[in-house]
Chains A and B, each alone.
Chain A
Amino acid sequence: MSTTTSSTDNKRKAPAGERVADWADGRLGIYSLAKANMRKIFPDHWSFMLGEICLYSFIIIILTGVYLTLFFHPSMNEVEYHGSYVPLQGQLMSEAFNSTMHISFDVRGGLLIRQIHHWAALIFVAAMLVHMMRVFFTGAFRKPREVNWLFGFLLLVLGMFTGFTGYSLPDDLLSGTGVRFMQGAVLSVPIVGTYLSMFLFGGEFPGGDFVARFYSVHILLLPGIMLGLVVAHLILVFYHKHTQFAGPGKTNKNVVGMPLLPVYMAKAGGFFFLVFGVIAAISALASINPIWALGPYRPDQVSTGAQPDWYMGFSEGLIRVMPGWEINAWGHTLVLGVFIPLIIFPLVLVTIAVWPFIESWVTGDKREHHILDRPRNAPTRTAFGVAWLTWYFILLIGGGNDLWATHFHLSINSITWFVRIAFFVGPVIAFIITKRICLGLQRRDKDKVLHGRESGIIKRLPHGEFIEVHEPLSQEALHTLTAHEQHKPLELGPTVDENGVERKVKGTQKLKAKLSQGMYGEESQIPKPTADEYKEITSGHGHH
């Protein structure tokens, strides 16, 4: 009844789009959804698009991956090659390799899609790492975003394994060697290693099963989990609203930027096409994983310079530089030379993932944080992040020790020893240097706030002295440079109370106080300028 009255009242028919929207709203409630999100505000900063690169390359991987499944045969049955690539004709190979050759040489555009898929995968994992570092260095992981940090971390780990299972599918000489390496590492697991290996490969290596098994893991299991995590990640980004850097008009209680419709729809939507376009152009120009040059996998053959895809490089470094320790006792072998790297591999990743929780425990800070830190204003965190990156890159050097040796004419023995030592020393040095740089930058900010910006204008005073004129900063700049918060280090207080009774301090409390002193003590931050300091100097007696 009400509909008839309203339509007769209006005396007009709603436009078609509106009628479709009405239909959908009656069933899906889209108007309420759009009310909250259509004009949602997104702050602008170049680093906020790193996450977009991850999302878009993920979509590209799914699109191209579906295409590849139409032609790929995940089977290890041996067939003779009769395709159009002459050098391999007549050679025995698995159907997996054969169908990948077919995609590359006989399906028009197949090679392009294969290369887009592989390039996008490399870019996907790289973008995730860079995005994660952006979140780390700006403290965007703080409450309420810790869970989203973990979702992102899981995506990085799953992305690495999806990549590994993916590049193993063509069953070429290089990827087969990588699978063998993984199998050797699995064998090193004490007690259950041989069982795991037999179950994984359906018997002895390589057997006839692993391509089909990796295939279902690569195209269904892992991407399915990842898709769910990506959706959850994005829902949380929407729900929490985006973080922003400090600046005039920007507070912890608002979000300043431009609306989703139209600006971000156009910018973010357009950026998808930019990313896709660039990856397509790279795939047109730069060959990746030329399996025809490598040949089909044979467990008794190998090529030199064997390298995994870059994101597996740090695990390669661990395995290459580890001394070959083996303990043989009571009829058993403990293969430490392989097992220790296998354990350190996840530990390297977990080290960066747990930092947000350590930091929030030390600060005891339970408030929401929506204003990003400049890395310099959190020197210990920044130094820790750089130390971790240094660790990671040292292991990457270890993973490519043969390439470093041949390209830079170095001895492989000395590179290996360098990596062994730098594995322990490198992060410490990086930590110290980074912290110094952060403190230096804090001092410079303080100086700028109190004394103004160097104008480059030299003035001669009546008595002959030359001085440089410093221009005072605008209030916007003053606010931006002083908006950050500084934690006070935790003091345990006197261990004896006013009655002389000894107060018990728990060990965890002592540890917390120690860490807090390290992170926020005098050595770790420069007190930011106060308004009183500023007033005293500016109202002062006219120097500078």
Chain B
Amino acid sequence: MSSQDIPEENLPVAQADGADLEKHGENPFADPGLPPHEHRIQDIDERAAKRSERTVAFLFTLSMLATIGFIASYVAFPVDKSIYVWPIGHISALNFALGMTLGIALFCIGAGAVHWARTLMSDEEIADERHEISAPPEVKAKVLADFKQGAKESAMGRRKLIRNTMFGALTLVPLSGVVLLRDLGPLPEDKLRHTLWAKGKLLVNQNTNEPLRPADVAVGSLTFAKPEGLEEHDHDFQTQIAKAALMIVRLEPDDIKDKQELEWSHEGIVAYSKICTHVGCPISLYEQQTHHVLCPCHQSTFDLTDGARVIFGPAGHALPQLRIGVNEEGYLQALGDFEEPVGPAFWERG
């Protein structure tokens, strides 16, 4: 790894043509040095220079006008007015006017400055020397000596007890900061295993907010349901619906291939978790002919006639099914919670 591993002659510097070519006389590839400066039209023609000056001044003036335009638009356009701009379509007049005037005001300052630099400032190339980044050996020797002196005076090396206890203290002290992070959140416990669903909870239609009857679920339609008692205004609605969201589909009982699916269904109505088992997007696309559902985020596809097993995409396991039935009044109800965790898999899932 050190440089002595490499034979010196392998480094390009040793093969540079320069050295041996000195012997042969001049090198056809030698560096001819900086080319002579070529004058621009502005350097030799004062009228061209004047033209450039006027261009720059025009751009700066345009910028001033645009800023005035910006202020005027801010005052003039109501915030809700929309205008038609070809080919974009209808857009907010205020946003368009403010953005364009601000854009012109800024762009013209830039264009003016660049034009000024390119046409009127000196364009003669200058060569500056570089200096090696590494310090010269004397400096290095001085620094190392200083460091040794300092280290010696601190007696770090000699008084090992001080050194070791100091390292110990410095290692431990950040732990307080780590401990403080503990209350960022609760422990997982079995939170991911339970949802609001329980025996006897009615299936409430998300659209109508009414409990569902079997007759409400038509063949070929996809119905979204939530557990009764969960309302949008509840403070933990988002967290609860993130686990409890349900999709309901009616199949022909004969089409159901999976035995358990058939047992847990009611008159061909099956209820599955709407939360994808991949990384938790809500599944929302339903193919009526094949009874496949598809997650629009990562295209995991599940076959609802076969225990919602994965038939395509990155999901790792089938959607959990909710066991349903009807109560005495004829409403669809859950016969328990999901028997496995809904949503993405995790270490403790098992």
A482 to B96, CA, bound (A): 53
- Contact pick for B281, options A306, A370, A412, CB 8 Å: A306
Query: Which among A189, A193, A335, A365 has the greatest number of chain B C-beta atoms within 10 A?
Result: A335
Name the A residues within 8 Å of B238 (CB-CB).
206-207, 297-299
CB pair A485–B16 under 8 Å, yes or no, is yes
Name the B residues within 8 Å of A297 (CB-CB).
238
> Which of A247-303 touch B at CB < 8 Å?
248-259, 262-264, 266-267, 269-281, 283-287, 297-303
A287 to B102, CA, bound (A): 16
Range of interface residues on B (Cβ < 8 Å): 35 or more
- Contact pick for A204, options B103, B242, B282, B310, CB 8 Å: B242
> Which of A203-227 touch B at CB < 8 Å?
203-209
> Which of B8-30 touch A at CB < 8 Å?
9-13, 15-17, 21, 24, 27-30
Contact bitstring B335-346, A, C-beta under 8 A = 1, else 0: 000000001111
Name the B residues within 8 Å of A177 (CB-CB).
281, 297
Contact bitstring A136-167, B, C-beta under 8 A = 1, else 0: 00000000100000000000000000000000
Name the B residues within 8 Å of A305 (CB-CB).
296
* Closest residue on chain B to residue A43 by CB atoms: B125
CB pair B284–A301 under 8 Å, yes or no, is yes
Interface stretch, picked from B145-153, B168-176, B257-265, B311-319, is B311-319
- Contact pick for B242, options A195, A206, A306, CB 8 Å: A206
B69 CB to closest chain A CB, in angstroms?
A: 12
B108 contacts the other chain (CB 8 A): yes
How many contacts A-B (CB < 8 Å)? Answer: 394
* Closest residue on chain B to residue A187 by CB atoms: B346
* Closest residue on chain B to residue A264 by CB atoms: B117
CB pair B312–A413 under 8 Å, yes or no, is yes
B318 CB to closest chain A CB, in angstroms?
A: 11
- Contact pick for B279, options A185, A271, A331, A491, CB 8 Å: A185
CB pair B114–A270 under 8 Å, yes or no, is yes
B121 contacts the other chain (CB 8 A): yes
B106 CB to closest chain A CB, in angstroms?
A: 4
- Contact pick for A111, options B15, B92, B242, CB 8 Å: B92
Given the interface pairs A198-B185, A487-B10, the reply to whether A204 lies near B191 with Cβ below 8 Å is yes
- Contact pick for A258, options B102, B123, B226, CB 8 Å: B123
B286 contacts the other chain (CB 8 A): no
CB pair B242–A205 under 8 Å, yes or no, is yes
Name the A residues within 8 Å of B200 (CB-CB).
none
A201 contacts the other chain (CB 8 A): yes
Name the A residues within 8 Å of B5 (CB-CB).
364, 509, 512
Name the A residues within 8 Å of B133 (CB-CB).
144, 239-240, 368
A89 contacts the other chain (CB 8 A): no
A133 to B13, CA, bound (A): 27
A257 CB to closest chain B CB, in angstroms?
A: 6
A319 to B295, CA, bound (A): 13
Interface stretch, picked from A5-13, A26-34, A424-432, A529-537, is A529-537
CB pair A284–B95 under 8 Å, yes or no, is yes
A272 to B112, CA, bound (A): 12
A184 to B250, CA, bound (A): 29
A271 to B109, CA, bound (A): 9
A493 to B242, CA, bound (A): 66
CB pair A485–B12 under 8 Å, yes or no, is yes
Given the interface pairs A195-B187, A301-B282, A491-B7, the reply to whether A531 lies near B274 with Cβ below 8 Å is no
CB pair A482–B103 under 8 Å, yes or no, is no
CB pair A328–B103 under 8 Å, yes or no, is no
* Closest residue on chain A to residue B70 by CB atoms: A109
Name the B residues within 8 Å of A335 (CB-CB).
316, 344-347
Name the B residues within 8 Å of A202 (CB-CB).
184-185
- Contact pick for A324, options B13, B106, B129, B314, CB 8 Å: B314
B232 contacts the other chain (CB 8 A): yes
CB pair B281–A302 under 8 Å, yes or no, is yes
Given the interface pairs A109-B98, A324-B313, the reply to whether A183 lies near B280 with Cβ below 8 Å is yes
Interface stretch, picked from B31-39, B40-48, B136-144, B321-329, is B31-39
CB pair B188–A195 under 8 Å, yes or no, is yes
B33 CB to closest chain A CB, in angstroms?
A: 5
Name the A residues within 8 Å of B350 (CB-CB).
328, 331-333
CB pair A338–B344 under 8 Å, yes or no, is yes
B299 contacts the other chain (CB 8 A): yes
Given the interface pairs A181-B279, A204-B192, A299-B242, the reply to whether A258 lies near B126 with Cβ below 8 Å is yes
* Closest residue on chain A to residue B238 by CB atoms: A206
CB pair A285–B34 under 8 Å, yes or no, is no
Given the interface pairs A240-B133, A273-B113, A332-B348, the reply to whether A338 lies near B278 with Cβ below 8 Å is yes
Name the B residues within 8 Å of A319 (CB-CB).
278-279, 298, 314
A208 to B185, CA, bound (A): 11
B135 contacts the other chain (CB 8 A): no
B105 contacts the other chain (CB 8 A): yes
A313 to B184, CA, bound (A): 29
A429 to B280, CA, bound (A): 36
B100 contacts the other chain (CB 8 A): yes
> Which of A225-247 touch B at CB < 8 Å?
239-241
CB pair A241–B130 under 8 Å, yes or no, is yes
A335 to B279, CA, bound (A): 11
- Contact pick for A476, options B10, B35, B111, CB 8 Å: B35
A112 contacts the other chain (CB 8 A): yes
* Closest residue on chain A to residue B111 by CB atoms: A274
CB pair A402–B121 under 8 Å, yes or no, is no
* Closest residue on chain A to residue B184 by CB atoms: A199
Contact bitstring A473-513, B, C-beta under 8 A = 1, else 0: 00110110011011111110100000000000000110010
CB pair B113–A109 under 8 Å, yes or no, is no
A495 CB to closest chain B CB, in angstroms?
A: 15
CB pair A199–B185 under 8 Å, yes or no, is yes
Name the A residues within 8 Å of B15 (CB-CB).
485-486, 488
Name the B residues within 8 Å of A251 (CB-CB).
31
* Closest residue on chain A to residue B241 by CB atoms: A300
A256 to B129, CA, bound (A): 9
Name the A residues within 8 Å of B278 (CB-CB).
184, 319, 324, 337-338
A53 contacts the other chain (CB 8 A): no
CB pair A199–B181 under 8 Å, yes or no, is yes
* Closest residue on chain A to residue B297 by CB atoms: A306
> Which of A506-523 touch B at CB < 8 Å?
508-509, 512
| B contact set with A: CB distance below 8 Å | 1, 3, 5-7, 9-13, 15-17, 21, 24, 27-35, 74, 79-80, 85, 88, 91-92, 94-100, 102-114, 116-118, 121-130, 132-133, 181, 184-188, 191-192, 206, 224, 226, 232-233, 235, 237-239, 241-243, 245, 274-275, 278-282, 284-285, 296-300, 310, 312-317, 343-350
Among all A-B residue pairs, the 7 with the closest Cβ atoms: A284-B99, A184-B279, A277-B107, A270-B113, A273-B110, A249-B34, A281-B103
Told that A250-B31, A326-B317, A489-B10 touch, could you supply 20 new A-B pairs with CB distance under 8 A? A106-B79, A115-B95, A194-B188, A195-B188, A198-B191, A249-B32, A253-B129, A266-B121, A270-B111, A270-B117, A324-B313, A337-B316, A338-B316, A364-B11, A367-B13, A478-B28, A479-B32, A488-B15, A531-B17, A538-B28
Sample (25) of A-B pairs whose CB atoms are under 8 Å apart: A184-B280, A198-B191, A203-B191, A204-B192, A205-B242, A248-B35, A249-B33, A254-B127, A254-B130, A257-B125, A274-B106, A274-B114, A277-B106, A299-B242, A302-B282, A304-B296, A324-B310, A338-B314, A367-B11, A370-B130, A479-B31, A482-B29, A486-B12, A487-B11, A488-B15
| A contact set with B: CB distance below 8 Å | 39-41, 78, 84, 92, 105-106, 108-109, 111-112, 115-116, 144, 177, 180-181, 183-185, 187-195, 197-209, 239-241, 248-259, 262-264, 266-267, 269-281, 283-287, 297-306, 319-326, 328, 331-335, 337-338, 361, 363-368, 370, 401-402, 412-413, 416, 449, 475-476, 478-479, 482-483, 485-491, 493, 508-509, 512, 530-532, 534-535, 538
